[in-house]
Amino acid sequence: MCAYDKSKKSNKILPLLAILAATLFFVAVVVFFVFQLFDRKSPLAEYEILDSNPTSEQIEKTIDQLQKRAKSLGASISVTLQGEKILSVKGEEHALTKDELTALTSSGELQFILYSDLKTVQGGIPNEGDKVVYDKSKVLMTGDMIDEAEAKKRQMEGVEKTDYGVSIKFSDKGAEEFAKLTGEHVGEQLAIVFDEKLVSAPNLMEEITGGECWISGSFTDESARQLAAILCTGRLALQLKVKKYINQ
């Protein structure tokens, strides 16, 4: 009878396991450094969540909204939760300016209300860009039914001046509501308020059908692009503020 020596088999397996472990370690190191080489994203800013008890769903939606807003501005960013209430924003160095990083945190609340129902904080007659106060029950329509928003420029008739603004397109339901409210208030000024600031207050000459609206005001090319990027995602699920800018 032949005796089977188990020690010889184990002596052969151990070196193989050692080689396999070394190979896996080497591959892991290579993958890590390749990832570091191609991941050129740098810290850009930190945002603080102002809501007291944010849910995971709200955080996920807010992160998605921030990334979509940045994409509309031509930048690719990653947003991760640090701790309980800090969102860390990373992207290519100088991908976004300070103004753009601030704009990303805008709540994005667009409202249509009669100009006659607005006042300044001091109680006066508001001008474009002024912070305004008003009875929320007087709001005729919000931006919740906007399907598309795009920054555009057009040549003003009779003058050599470029008018920057935002072209918005409503959903089918939004188009119906907008046509109804403009038809009911022909001859009045319809104020467009964004984050409690008066953007513009055009005179309604006729009912506006077709589901499209042009928002003009004291826009530059950059500010028009920022507004369009914000309107595309709707109101932020959470309130944010910039805690600090990094490498700006």
Domain boundaries, the chain: 42-106+237-245, 110-233
**pLDDT computed for residue 106 by the predictor:** 94
In the chain, the amino acid numbered 84 is E
pLDDT score at 31 = 47
Of 188, 227, 193, the closest CA to residue 208 belongs to: 188
What is the 8-class DSSP label of residue 138?
Answer: G
What's the confidence (pLDDT) of residue 159?
Answer: 59
Give the CA-trace dihedral at 232, 238, 241, 243, to 10 degrees: -120
Bridge partners of 90, per DSSP, are: 43, 78
Q: What is the DSSP letter of 121?
A: T
- What's the confidence (pLDDT) of residue 18? 61
Q: What is the mean pLDDT of each run of 10 residues along the chain (248 residues)?
A: 49 60 60 47 92 96 96 94 95 89 94 97 94 96 93 75 90 96 97 95 95 90 93 94 89
Nearest-angstrom CA–CA distance, 27 and 91: 27
Question: What Rg do the C-alpha atoms of the chain give, in angstroms?
Answer: 27
Task: Please give the Cα distance from 138 to 181 (Å, whole number).
Answer: 12
pLDDT at residue 93, as a whole number: 77
If you ran DSSP here, which 8-state letter would residue 106 be given? -
Which CATH architecture fits 110-233?
A: 2-Layer Sandwich (3.30)
Distance CA 202, CA 62 (A): 32
Residue 157, Cβ neighbours under 10 Å: how many?
A: 7
In this structure, are residues 25 and 201 in contact, taking their beta carbons and an 8 Å threshold? no
pLDDT of residue 25: 62
pTM for this model (two decimals): 0.74
Model pLDDT, residue 95: 85
Using CA of residue 95, residue 100, residue 102, residue 103, what is the dihedral sign? negative
Extract the tokens encoding 91: 């992207």
42-106+237-245: CATH architecture: 2-Layer Sandwich (3.30)
The whole-angstrom separation of Cα 46 and Cα 90 is: 9
Q: Which pair of structure tokens corresponds to residue 65? A: 């909204």
